[in-house]
Amino acid sequence: MTNIRIGNGYDIHRLVSDRPLILGGVKIEHELGLLGHSDADVLTHAIMDALLGALSLGDIGHYFPPTDDKWKGADSVVLLTEVDRLVQAKGWKIGNIDSVIVAERPKLKPHIQAMRDRLATALHLQPDQVGIKATTNETLDATGREEGISAYAVVLLVENR
């Protein structure tokens, strides 16, 4: 029988006026961007935590501490490729990823394909192995008030034989 593992990840970052908005490795035109030590790409962070979680390897803060200047302004897709290397070194490969971004604005639908392509390329996957969806929070809570953007991800890992 094929061995499989499942992992889930979540992240949220605050929206501020003087930062770019980067989601799934794609820069999106918007008057607000996400605040963080890295580029604050919540979707990529949620996917990294899901990958690490699937193998009980801890979380991204353990590998890329927000207290370390090395990761200041880091491109999260580069961090993702590091996590992917770790997963592969442990003898696993990604079956598929599914995710959802919670953002009241901007409209993300026009950017979803570019995010899937960017992440699939970085992870050496086909775009149909990378699911990305968007939803508003129907104006409820912090994301609904546009104070931040959050993302959830689930991954399935398959043992490499």
Ligand X SMILES: C[C@@]1(CO)OP(=O)(O)OP(=O)(O)OC[C@H]1O
Ligand Y SMILES: Nc1ccn([C@@H]2O[C@H](COP(=O)(O)O)[C@@H](O)[C@H]2O)c(=O)n1
* Other CB atoms within 10 A of residue 135 CB: 13
Asked whether position 108 contacts ligand Y by CB under 6 A, the answer is yes
**104: which 2 tokens?**
């009241």
Residue from 6, 61, 107, 133 in contact with ligand X (CB under 6 A): 61
Cα–Cα distances in Å, from 125 out to 119, 128, 131? Answer: 8, 8, 12
150 binds, among ligand X, ligand Y, none (CB under 5 to 8 A by kind): none
Question: Does residue 99 bind ligand X (CB under 6 A)?
Answer: no
Shortest distance in whole angstroms from residue 47 CB to ligand Y: 18
The reply to whether 107 sits near ligand Y by the rule CB under 6 A is yes
Decide if 56 contacts 37 (C-beta within 8 A).
no
Report the C-alpha gap between 131 and 79 in whole angstroms: 19
Residue type for 123, please? L
Shortest spacing between CB 36 and ligand X, in angstroms: 3
* Surface-to-core class of residue 11, CB atoms within 10 Å of its CB (0-12 exposed, 13-18 middle, 19+ buried): buried
Enumerate the known binding-site residues.
11-13, 37-38, 45, 59-61, 135-138, 145
Of 20-28, 50-58, 63-71, 106-114, which part binds ligand X (CB under 6 A)? Answer: 63-71
Q: What kind and span of H or E run contains 154? A: strand 148-159
Spell out, one character per residue from 6 to 45, where the chain touches ligand X: x when CB under 6 A holds, - when not: -----x------------------------xxx-x----x
**Residue partners of 59: CB distance under 8 A and separation at least 6:** 49, 52, 53
Q: Which residues bind ligand X (CB under 6 A)?
A: 11, 36-38, 40, 45, 60-61, 64-66, 71, 74
Q: Which residues bind ligand Y (CB under 6 A)?
A: 103, 107-109, 134-136
